[in-house]
Structure 1
Amino acid sequence: MTTGLHMSNVTKYYSEGSNKIAALDQVSITISPGELVAVVGPSGSGKSTFLSVAGALLKASQGEVNISGQELSELSDRELSTIRLNEIGFIMQSSNLVPYLNVLDQLLIVKRMSGKVKSADKEVAIRLLEELGLGAKLKSFPEALSGGEKQRTAIARALINDPKVILADEPTASLDTKRAHEVVGLIAKEVKSRKKAAIMVTHDERMLEYCDKVYRMEDGKLTAV
C-alpha cells in the first residue's frame, strides 16, 4: 500500500473567459512518512493551488492524488471531508486560532468535530501541548500568547488527530528570525518522530536547512532544486 502523499501528473485548470489557465501543470511528487519537503516560488506561481489540491480542498482537473493508498478523485465530498479531518493536519501562516477558545480547547474542538470528546482525548491533547512547551498555557487565550506560542498551538492542533500528512502554508510569515527557527525546527522534529509526510510552502530561504528536499514552483510547474 502507498504510504505518505503521492501526486502523479496533477493538472488544475481555472477558466478565465473562454480560456483555460493551468494553475498546476503536470505536477508529480512523492513525500514519504518522516519527510519534510519545502516548496518555494514567487507569488502567483501555483503554490496555494498545489497545497489546496494536496489537502483535498480542491479536486485536480487531471492526474492522481493519493494519501496513504486512498485515491482522492474516487472519493465523495463527504469522504473527502473525513480525509481532511483525520488524515491531514493544516498549519496556516497566521495560526488561525479561534479567539474565544483557550489553548487546550483549540485542540479539543478538532476532536469534537469527529464526535464526542473522551477523557483519553483530553489526556492526549494535554500531553501534546506539554511536549510542545505549552504546558503552562493550557487555559490561556490567543490574545495572551506570543506569535511563537500561537504557531506551536497550531502545530499541536494539526497533530491532534494523528494525521498521515502535514501541510504548512508560510508558517513563519508573522514571526521574527528566532521564533521562525524555533517553529520550523519543531515542525521538522515532529514530522520525523511521528513519521508524517509534510510539505511546507515558504518564501523564507532561512528555513530550508530543516527540509529533506526543496522544490521550486514556477508557472504551475514543480521542479526539484
Structure 2
Amino acid sequence: MTRGLQMNDVTKYYAEGSNRIAALDHVTLSVEPGEFVAVVGPSGSGKSTFLSIAGAMLEASEGEVKLNGHTLSTLTAKELSNIRLQEIGFIMQSSNLVPYLNVLDQLLIVKRMSSTVTREDKQLATKLLEELGLGAKLTSLPEELSGGEKQRTAIARALINNPNVILADEPTASLDTKRAHEVVSLIAQEVKSRQKAAIMVTHDERMLEYCDKVYRMEDGKLSLFPLKDIYK
C-alpha cells in the first residue's frame, strides 16, 4: 500500500453567480513518508482549499486524492471521519487548545474521541510531551503557557494517534522569529524521526529552510519552486 499523500489532477470548482470558478486547478502532488513540503502563495490563491481537500474535509470536484493508500472519493462519511481522526494530524494557525484542559489532557481528549483512555495512552502522551520539552508542563493550563509552548502542545496532540500525514496551516502565524524556528524545526524533526508525510502552508519564508520541497500556489495552480531560487 502506498503511504503518504497523493493528489492527481485535482480540481475544485465553486459557483459564483452563473460562472464556475476553479479554486484549485489540476493540482498534482505526492508527499512521501519522511518528506516535509511547504506550500506558499498569496492570500486567495487556493491554499486553504488545497489543505481542506488534503485533510479530507472537502471533496474534490475532479481528480483523485489518496491518503495512506485510501482513495478518499470512495469512502463513506464515517470512514472519512475516521481517516481525519486516525490518519491525519492537524496543526492550525493558533494552537486551538481547550482552555480548561491541562497539557496532558489536551492529548488524551483525542484518544477519548476514538476509545477509552488506557494507562498506556497516558504513558505515551507523557513521553511525547517530554520529548517536545513539555515534561514540566503536564498539569499547566493553556493560559500558563508561552506561544511556543502552546504550539509544541499542538504538535504533540497532532502526533498522539500516530497519524501518517501531518498538515500544518500557518503554524508560526502568532510567533516571534525565535519561537517560529523552534516550532518548525520540531515539526521537521518529528517528520523525519517518525517518517510522517507533512505539508505546511505558510507565508513565512524564514521557515522554508526546514523543508525538502517548496511549492507555490497561484490562481489555483501548484508549481514546484526551486529551493535555489529561494536562497539567492
Give the equivalent residue in structure 2 for 1:130: 130
Separation in structure 2 between the aligned mates of residue 151 and residue 158 of structure 1, nearest angstrom: 10
CA displacement at 1:25 relative to structure 2: 0.3
Name the residue aligned to 2:195: 195
Identity of aligned residues (%): 79
The RMSD of aligned alpha carbons is 0.4
Matched AA of 2:15: S
In structure 2, the partner of 1:66 is 66
Offset at residue 148 of structure 1 (A): 0.1
> What does 1:1-150 correspond to in 2, within 5 Å?
1-150=1-150
Match runs of 1:211-222 below 5 Å: 211-222=211-222
Cα separation, 2, equivalents of 1:222 and 1:70 = 23
1:173-198 CA distance string (max 9 Å, x none): 00000000000000000000000000
Give runs of ≥4 in structure 1 deviating > 2 Å. Answer: none
TM-score scaled by structure 1? 0.99
Give the alignment's TM-score, normalised by structure 2: 0.96
SS at match of 2:107: helix
Deviation at 1:100, TM superposition (A): 0.7
Could you list the runs of 5+ residues in structure 1 that have no partner in the other structure?
Answer: none
SS of 1:49's equivalent in the other structure is helix
Q: Secondary structure at the match of 1:6?
A: strand
Could you report, residue by residue, the CA deviation over 1:24-81 in whole angstroms, capped at 9, with x for unpaired residues?
0000000000000000000000000000000000010110000111000000111000
**1:130-180 deviations in Å (ceiling 9; x for gaps):** 000000000000000000000000000000000000000000000000000
The alpha-carbon deviation at position 7 of structure 1 amounts to 0.3
Shift of 1:18: 1.5
Q: Secondary structure at the match of 2:56?
A: coil
| Structure-2 separation of matches of 1:78 and 1:19 | 32
SS state at 1:150 partner: helix
- Structure 2 distance, partners of 1:75, 1:98, is 30
Give the distance between the partners of 1:146 and 1:174, measured in 2 at CA.
11
In structure 1, C-alpha distance between the alignment counterparts of 2:102 and 2:95, rounded to whole Å:
14
Q: Distance in 2 between matches of 1:46 and 1:96?
A: 23
Query: Structure 1 counterpart of 2:170, which letter?
Result: E
Q: What is the distance in 1 between the residues matched to 2:101 and 2:61?
A: 38
* Counterpart amino acid of residue 83 in structure 2: I
User: 1:83-130: per-residue Cα shift (whole Å, max 9, x none)?
Assistant: 000000000010110101100000000000011011100000000000
**Gap runs ≥5 in structure 2:** 226-232
